[in-house]
C-alpha cells in the first residue's frame, strides 16, 4: 500500500509527456523526478538556473555548485544548460516551461492558488512561485487533500494571499485528481476504495463528478 | 511546445513554416551571425509582404539585401543601413518602410520581449530627434522615455554549434543579436555549422538554451554564404 | 575607471574599500555562487549599517547569515529567507527591514540597473498582494506595473575562474545572480578559485567581461566555505 | 610631412591612457588602433560585441566571424571577450567604456555633436552613436577642421540633428586640439606652422586661446 505522498507522486508522473520542459516546485514536487522513467526524454527546469536536472546518482560525490531550487544537490542529463537568474525567469515568463508542479496551502475551484504566505505566521517570501504560477501554461498542484487538522484545502474561494489568480490547471491529492474547467472543478480520477460521498465531505469546493467516466488511481 | 526530439529539420521544411506577411527577426551584425542559408531558402520559397527586424540591411547582394532587392520586404526595423544603397534607395522611393532605432535600444527592445515584459524606461535620446513620437513619463523627479518591447513571429539565427535539442553556441562577433532574437520570437529557427549529440556542449558555454529554439538546420560552411566569402578572400 | 592591470587585490584591501552603510549586492542562490570568503572578511572588518541585496539569506551560520546574526545588516532586499530562521526572527522583531520581491522580478530589477535603464514595465503580480505600492500605467490598452531598477554601491560575486583583467567565468548553478549583480553595482569585487593570465579564458565563454569588474581576489577552495562544506560531506 | 589624417591620428593616440577601455567609431577613428603602441595595455571595445580588438596581423587569414563595427576583419588580444549586443550596450550605458573617438559633420562650442544625419541627403540610421555619445565620459571628436567646400565644421551652434547634446570633451582636427570647457572652446594645441589668426578664420566657433600656453602638434 503506497503512502499518500507516493500515491500523489505516482499519479503526477503520468502528467508528464516525453519531450516536455518541466519545473518542479520546492517540497513534494521536487521528489517527482524520482518517479519519471529514467530514459524519458524530459528536461527538468529549476529556476535557480538549470535546464536538465536529474537526481544525483547514488554514491556519486555531490558537485557543490549544482543544486536545485530547493537546495538539494543534483546531477544533469545530456543536453543540460546552466544560466543566470534573469534568463531563467525569461524562460518562465515566455512560457517556455511546459508544465510546473507546485504545493499549495489553498487552491480553489476557480483555479486560484495560495502557497506562499500565511499572514502573521509564515512569510518567508514568494521566491519564484509567482512567475511560475502566472506564466506556465499547465500548473499542476500536488498537495494533501486536507491540512493536518483535517480542514479542507480545496476551497470555494481562497482566503490566503494569492500566488496568482486563475492559474491552476489540475489538482492531484491523495484522494482525487481534479481538473479546473470553465464549469468548475471536475473530478477526473478518484482514489482506489474511496467513495464519492467521502470525497465530497472532505472538500469545500463544489465538485463536478460524472461517475460513469471516473478513473481510479 | 516543441518536443525536444523533433527539432532537427531540413531547411526546406523549416522555412516552409513561414507564412506570407510574417514578422521575422534576423540575427547578424553585418555578415557575422547572419543566417545566410535560411535567408536564401526564404528567397527561393517566395514568401512576401515580410516585416524584417535586423541590425542592418546587409549588403545589396547578400542576406536580407537579396530579399529587399526582390521586393519581398514591406517593412524593416533596423539601426543602420549605410552599407546597402539599394535599401536606402527603396526607402527614399517609399517602397520600403524603414523604422530606425539607436542600436542599443533596438537590442534592448528585442531583449525586453525575450524577457517577457512590455517595455522599459530609458534616458537615451531624450533631448534628440528620436524623442519625437515616444511617450515620456516622470519617475523620481526625472523624465524617462517608454520603449516598448519588439517581438516577432519567427527568429532566424545563426549559431556555430548546436545540439539536437536546440542548444546553441555562437562564435566571435557572430553572437550580436542572435541570442536576444532567439528569445523574442514565437518560434526560432537556427542554422548551425554542426549539430552534435545532446551532452556534447558545455552547459556553462551554451548561449541559448534549447527552450528557446524550435528547429535546428545544419548548414555546410563551405556552401553557405560565409563559406563562399571565405574562399573569395 | 579601474585600470586593467590594477585589479588583482588582497582580500583585506578589497573589502577595506567598503564603507559603513554601504548598499551591497551579494551573489548566490543558497550556497552556490555565494562569495563566502568576501563575506567572512566583511564580518571580520566590522562594517555596519549595511543594506544587502541577495536572493536569499543563506543559512544562519554561513554567508550573509553571519552578518545578519552579528547585527551588521539594517535592510535586506530578497526573494525568500525560508532557510534562515534567525533572519525571519530579526524581521519579525523589527530589527531587520526586509523587502521581498518575486525572484524573477528581483533578478530583472538588478539586470535593469546593469543595463543602465530606470526600470521596466511588467504584468507580473498585477492582481496580487505585491501590486500594492507599485505604480501602474496604461499602455496599448493594458495595465502594466513600473518596476524600478535596483542598483548598489558594491557587488560581491563568486566566480569559478577569473583572469587578471577581471574577466569572470561561473560554474553550474553558481551563476545565478552573479553576472547580473556584477553589472549593477558601482564597483564589483569578485572572488575566484583561480586567477589566470589574460588570454587563458575562451572569449565566448566569459560570462562577465572585465569592464564590469573592479577587483579580483583569489580564494582557496579548500579554506573557503564551499571547500569546508565539501570536506564535510 | 604627415597627411592631415595622419596628424589627427598621431595626436589622438596621445589621448589614450594605458589600462583604458576605448571605443573607436566608424571611419577615421577605427584607424586609431594602428597608432597605439603595440604593447600598450588597452582594450578596444567595438559595439558589435567585442572587448579587446586588435588589428588583424598582416598575412594572417581573416576569421570571418570577427569584425569590428565598421565591418573590418579584426584580431583579438589576450584578455578579450565577445558578447551579445544587449551586453555590449549595457557596457556603454553604464559608462564602462572610458573614452570614445568619433567623427563629426558638425560640433559646436557647447559640445553638441551632429554626426548621423543630413536631412534630405544622408540618413542611413544612427547605429550605436547615440548611446556612445550620451554615456561615455570622454568623447573625442576626430574630424577635418572644414568640410570639402571649406566651410567650418566647428560651429557656434550645430544646425543638423544632434547625436547627443553637450557630449563632446575634446575636438582634434588637423589644425587644432580644442577642449570643451564651461567657458567655451579652449584651444590646447595648434598645428605646427599655423597662425592663430588663420585658425580663427577657419573656425565659426569662438575660440579661447592663451598663446603663452599653446602647444604644437
CA distances from D133 to A204, C6, C194, D26, D102 (A): 63, 27, 37, 13, 9
Tell me the per-residue pLDDT of C178-220, one tens digit each, with 9 for 90 and over. Answer: 999 999 999 999 999 999 999 999 999 999 999 999 999 999 8
State the pLDDT confidence band at C226, using cuts at 50, 70 and 90: low
C-alpha A148/C-alpha A146 separation (Å) is 7
Q: What pLDDT was estimated at residue A122? A: 87
State the pLDDT confidence band at B6, using cuts at 50, 70 and 90: confident
Tell me the per-residue pLDDT of B32-82, one tens digit each, with 9 for 90 and over. Answer: 999 999 999 999 999 999 999 999 999 999 999 999 999 999 999 999 999
State the pLDDT confidence band at D107, using cuts at 50, 70 and 90: very high
Of the candidates D179, D136, D152, D125, the residue with the CA atom closest to the CA atom of residue D23:
D136
Tell me the average pLDDT across A113-130: 93
Rg (CA), chain A: 17
C-alpha B58/C-alpha B37 separation (Å) is 14
Does B127 contact D71 at a Cβ distance shorter than 8 Å?
no
State the pLDDT confidence band at C232, using cuts at 50, 70 and 90: very low
ipTM over 0.85: yes
Write down the catalytic residue from A15, A47, A106, A174.
A47
Q: What is the distance of C-alpha C58 from the center of its chain?
A: 12
Does residue C147 contact residue C119 with C-beta atoms inside 8 Å? Answer: yes
For the cut 80, the answer to whether the pLDDT of residue B4 exceeds it is no
Q: What pLDDT was estimated at residue A113? A: 98
Does residue C33 contact residue C59 with C-beta atoms inside 8 Å? Answer: no
Percentage with pLDDT > 90 across chain D: 91
Write down the catalytic residue from D47, D106, D131, D174.
D47
Which residues of C fall within a CB distance of 8 Å from A58?
A: none
3-state secondary structure of B227: helix
C147 φ/ψ angles, rounded to the nearest 5 degrees:
-110, 105
State the pLDDT confidence band at C221, using cuts at 50, 70 and 90: confident
Q: What pLDDT was estimated at residue B2? A: 61
C-alpha B129/C-alpha C148 separation (Å) is 26
Tell me the average pLDDT across A172-189: 98
Contacts by D213-216 with C-beta closer than 8 Å and gap 24+? D214/D187, D214/D188, D214/D189, D214/D190, D215/D177, D215/D188, D215/D189, D215/D190, D216/D189, D216/D190, D216/D191, D216/D192
The residue among D1 and C44 whose pLDDT is bigger is C44
Does B172 contact D117 at a Cβ distance shorter than 8 Å?
no
State the pLDDT confidence band at B228, using cuts at 50, 70 and 90: very low
**Nearest Cβ partner for B118 among C121, C170, C202:** C121
3-state secondary structure of B71: coil
Of the candidates B101, B21, B110, B105, the residue with the CA atom closest to the CA atom of residue B56:
B101
Tell me the average pLDDT across C146-173: 98
State the pLDDT confidence band at D38, using cuts at 50, 70 and 90: confident
Terminus-to-terminus CA distance in chain C, angstroms? 43
Which residues of B fall within a CB distance of 8 Å from C175?
A: 204
Task: Report the mean per-residue pLDDT for chain C.
Answer: 93
Buried b (16+ CB within 10 A) or exposed e, A130-154: bbbbbbbebbbbbbbbbeeeeeebb
For residue D126, give the CATH number of its domain.
Answer: 3.40.1080.10
Residue to mutate among C1, C209, C212, with most D CBs inside 10 A, is: C209
Angle at which helices B36-45 and B225-232 pack, to 10 degrees? 120
For the cut 70, the answer to whether the pLDDT of residue C2 exceeds it is no
User: Which residues have CB under 8 Å from D115's CB, separation 6+?
Assistant: D102, D103, D104, D105, D106, D129, D163
State the pLDDT confidence band at B224, using cuts at 50, 70 and 90: low
B92 φ/ψ angles, rounded to the nearest 5 degrees:
-65, -30
CA distance C108 to chain D (A): 14
Of the candidates B14, B26, B9, B10, the residue with the CA atom closest to the CA atom of residue B63:
B26
Q: Answer whether residue A215 is part of any domain.
A: no
Q: What pLDDT was estimated at residue A61? A: 87
State the pLDDT confidence band at A68, using cuts at 50, 70 and 90: very high
Name the residue of chain D whose CA is nearest to B205's CA.
Answer: D83
Q: Answer whether residue A181 is part of any domain.
A: no
The three grid cell numbers given for residue D197, joined into one nine-digit string:
589668426
Does residue A30 contact residue A72 with C-beta atoms inside 8 Å? Answer: yes
Q: Answer whether residue A50 is part of any domain.
A: yes
C-alpha A46/C-alpha C230 separation (Å) is 22
Q: Answer whether residue D178 is part of any domain.
A: no
Of the candidates C190, C186, C179, C110, the residue with the CA atom closest to the CA atom of residue C157:
C190
Tell me the average pLDDT across A5-10: 97
Which residues of D fall within a CB distance of 8 Å from C162?
A: none
The CATH architecture one would assign to domain C11-117+150-230 is: 3-Layer(aba) Sandwich (3.40)
CA distance B5 to chain D (A): 28
In terms of pTM, does the model score above 0.90? yes
Of the candidates D40, D111, D28, the residue with the CA atom closest to the CA atom of residue D70:
D28
Does residue B174 contact residue B160 with C-beta atoms inside 8 Å? Answer: yes
Task: Report the mean per-residue pLDDT for chain D.
Answer: 95
The C-side interface with A (CB below 8 A) comprises: 29-33, 55, 78-83, 88, 100, 102-105, 107-108, 110-111, 123-125, 127-130, 160, 171-180, 207, 226, 229-230, 233
Percentage with pLDDT > 90 across chain A: 91
Of the candidates D128, D95, D109, the residue with the CA atom closest to the CA atom of residue D200:
D109
The B-side interface with D (CB below 8 A) comprises: 29-33, 55, 78-83, 88, 100, 102-105, 107-108, 110-111, 123-125, 127-130, 160, 171-180, 207, 226, 229-230, 233
Does residue A88 contact residue A49 with C-beta atoms inside 8 Å? Answer: yes
State the pLDDT confidence band at D215, using cuts at 50, 70 and 90: very high
Which residues of B fall within a CB distance of 8 Å from D62?
A: 233
Q: Answer whether residue D92 is part of any domain.
A: yes
A41 included as an active-site residue: no
* Cβ neighbours around B141 below 10 Å, total: 5
- A75-79, B201-205, C41-45, D57-61 — which is least confidently predicted? D57-61
Tell me the average pLDDT across A58-77: 91
3-state secondary structure of D85: helix
Which residues of C fall within a CB distance of 8 Å from B205?
A: 202, 204-205
Exposed, middle or buried, B197 (CB in 10 Å: 0-12/13-18/19+)? Answer: exposed
Residue to mutate among B103, B106, B111, B192, with most D CBs inside 10 A, is: B103
User: Which residues constitute the domain of residue D150?
Assistant: 4-172
**Nearest Cβ partner for C146 among B112, B115, B139:** B139
Count Cα neighbours of D8 within 13 Å in the Cβ-side half-sphere.
Answer: 25
Tell me the per-residue pLDDT of A151-178, one tens digit each, with 9 for 90 and over. Answer: 999 999 999 999 999 999 999 999 999 9
The three grid cell numbers given for residue B67, joined into one nine-digit string:
530579399
User: Which residues have CB under 8 Å from D167's CB, separation 6+?
Assistant: D111, D112, D113, D133, D134, D139
Query: What is C100-140 written as a DSSP string?
Result: E--HHHHHHHHHHHHTT-SEEEE-TTTTSGGGTT--EEEET
The three grid cell numbers given for residue B21, joined into one nine-digit string:
506577411
Against chain C, the chains showing at least 3 CB pairs within 8 Å are A, B, D
D55 φ/ψ angles, rounded to the nearest 5 degrees:
-60, 145
State the pLDDT confidence band at D61, using cuts at 50, 70 and 90: confident
The three grid cell numbers given for residue D135, joined into one nine-digit string:
554615456
Does D41 contact C4 at a Cβ distance shorter than 8 Å?
yes
Does A65 contact C176 at a Cβ distance shorter than 8 Å?
no
CA distances from C208 to C158, C173, D66, D80, D149 (A): 11, 15, 20, 11, 47
Please list the alpha-helical segments (H only) found in chain B: 11-16, 36-45, 64-69, 85-92, 103-114, 178-184, 225-232
Q: Answer whether residue A18 is part of any domain.
A: yes
**Tally of structural domains, chain D:** 1
Residue to mutate among D15, D80, D81, D95, with most C CBs inside 10 A, is: D81
A to D contact (≥3 Cβ pairs closer than 8 Å) = no
Tell me the per-residue pLDDT of C96-145, one tens digit each, with 9 for 90 and over. Answer: 999 999 999 999 999 999 999 999 999 999 989 999 889 999 999 999 99
Does residue A199 contact residue A171 with C-beta atoms inside 8 Å? Answer: no
Please list the alpha-helical segments (H only) found in chain C: 11-16, 36-45, 64-69, 85-92, 103-114, 178-184, 225-232
Tell me the per-residue pLDDT of B128-182, one tens digit each, with 9 for 90 and over. Answer: 999 988 999 999 999 999 999 999 999 999 999 999 999 999 999 999 999 999 9
Does C148 contact B140 at a Cβ distance shorter than 8 Å?
yes
Which residues of C fall within a CB distance of 8 Å from B112?
A: 120
C210 touching B, CB under 8 A? no
B82 touching C, CB under 8 A? no
C-alpha A144/C-alpha D79 separation (Å) is 55
Q: Counting one residue from B and one from C, how many pairs have CB atoms under 8 Å apart? A: 75
For the cut 60, the answer to whether the pLDDT of residue C148 exceeds it is yes
Domain map (residue ranges) of chain B: 11-117+150-230
Q: What pLDDT was estimated at residue C230? A: 45
User: Which residues have CB under 8 Å from D192's CB, separation 6+?
Assistant: D216, D217
Running DSSP on this structure, what letter comes out for residue D62?
P
Of the candidates C67, A14, B104, A60, the residue with the CA atom closest to the CA atom of residue D88:
B104
Whose grid coordinates read 525568500? Answer: C80
Which residues of A fall within a CB distance of 8 Å from B216?
A: none
β-strands A138-142, A99-102: how paired? parallel
A207 φ/ψ angles, rounded to the nearest 5 degrees:
-115, 135
Does B199 contact A96 at a Cβ distance shorter than 8 Å?
no
Amino acid at each position: 500500500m503506497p503512502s499518500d505522498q507516493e500515491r500523489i507522486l505516482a499519479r503526477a508522473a503520468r502528467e508528464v509527456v516525453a519531450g516536455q520542459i518541466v519545473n518542479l516546485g520546492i517540497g513534494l514536487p521536487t521528489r517527482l523526478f524520482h518517479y519519471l522513467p529514467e530514459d524519458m526524454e524530459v528536461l527538468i527546469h529549476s529556476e535557480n538556473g538549470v535546464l536538465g536536472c536529474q537526481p544525483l546518482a547514488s554514491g556519486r560525490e555531490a558537485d557543490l555548485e549544482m543544486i536545485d531550487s530547493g537546495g538539494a544537490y543534483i546531477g544533469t542529463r545530456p543536453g543540460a544548460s546552466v544560466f543566470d537568474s534573469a534568463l531563467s525567469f525569461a524562460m518562465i515568463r515566455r512560457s517556455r516551461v511546459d508544465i510546473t508542479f507546485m504545493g499549495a496551502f489553498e487552491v480553489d475551484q476557480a483555479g486560484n492558488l495560495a502557497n506562499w504566505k500565511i499572514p502573521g505566521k509564515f512569510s518567508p517570501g514568494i521566491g519564484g512561485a509567482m512567475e511560475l504560477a502566472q506564466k506556465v501554461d499547465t500548473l499542476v498542484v500536488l498537495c494533501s487533500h486536507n491540512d493536518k487538522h483535517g480542514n479542507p484545502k480545496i476551497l470555494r474561494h481562497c482566503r490566503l494571499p494569492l500566488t496568482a489568480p486563475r492559474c491552476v490547471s489540475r489538482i492531484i491529492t491523495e484522494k482525487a485528481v481534479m481538473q479546473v474547467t470553465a464549469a468548475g472543478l471536475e473530478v477526473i480520477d478518484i482514489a482506489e476504495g474511496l467513495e464519492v460521498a467521502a470525497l465530497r465531505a472532505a472538500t469545500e469546493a463544489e465538485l463536478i463528478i460524472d461517475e460513469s467516466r471516473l478513473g481510479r488511481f | 511546445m516543441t518536443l525536444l526530439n523533433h527539432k532537427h529539420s531540413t531547411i526546406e521544411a523549416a522555412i516552409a513554416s513561414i507564412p506570407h506577411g510574417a514578422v521575422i527577426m534576423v540575427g547578424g551584425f553585418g555578415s557575422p551571425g547572419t543566417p545566410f542559408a535560411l535567408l536564401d531558402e526564404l528567397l527561393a520559397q517566395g514568401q512576401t509582404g515580410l516585416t524584417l527586424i535586423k541590425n542592418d540591411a546587409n549588403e545589396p547582394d547578400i542576406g536580407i539585401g537579396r530579399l529587399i532587392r526582390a521586393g519581398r520586404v514591406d517593412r524593416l526595423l533596423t539601426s543602420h543601413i549605410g552599407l546597402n544603397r539599394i535599401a536606402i534607395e527603396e526607402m527614399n522611393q517609399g517602397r520600403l518602410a524603414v523604422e530606425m532605432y539607436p542600436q542599443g535600444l533596438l537590442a534592448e527592445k528585442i531583449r525586453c520581449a525575450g524577457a517577457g515584459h512590455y517595455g522599459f524606461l530609458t534616458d537615451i535620446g531624450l533631448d534628440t530627434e528620436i524623442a519625437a513620437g515616444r511617450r515620456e513619463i516622470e519617475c523620481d523627479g526625472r523624465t524617462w522615455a517608454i520603449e516598448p518591447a519588439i517581438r516577432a513571429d519567427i527568429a532566424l539565427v545563426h549559431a556555430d554549434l548546436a545540439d539536437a535539442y536546440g542548444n546553441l553556441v555562437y562564435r566571435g562577433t557572430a553572437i550580436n543579436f542572435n541570442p536576444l532574437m532567439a528569445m523574442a520570437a514565437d518560434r526560432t529557427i537556427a542554422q548551425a555549422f554542426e549539430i552534435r549529440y545532446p551532452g556534447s556542449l558545455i552547459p556553462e558555454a551554451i548561449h541559448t538554451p534549447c527552450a528557446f529554439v524550435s528547429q535546428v538546420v545544419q548548414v555546410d560552411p563551405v556552401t553557405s554564404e560565409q563559406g563562399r566569402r571565405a574562399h573569395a578572400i
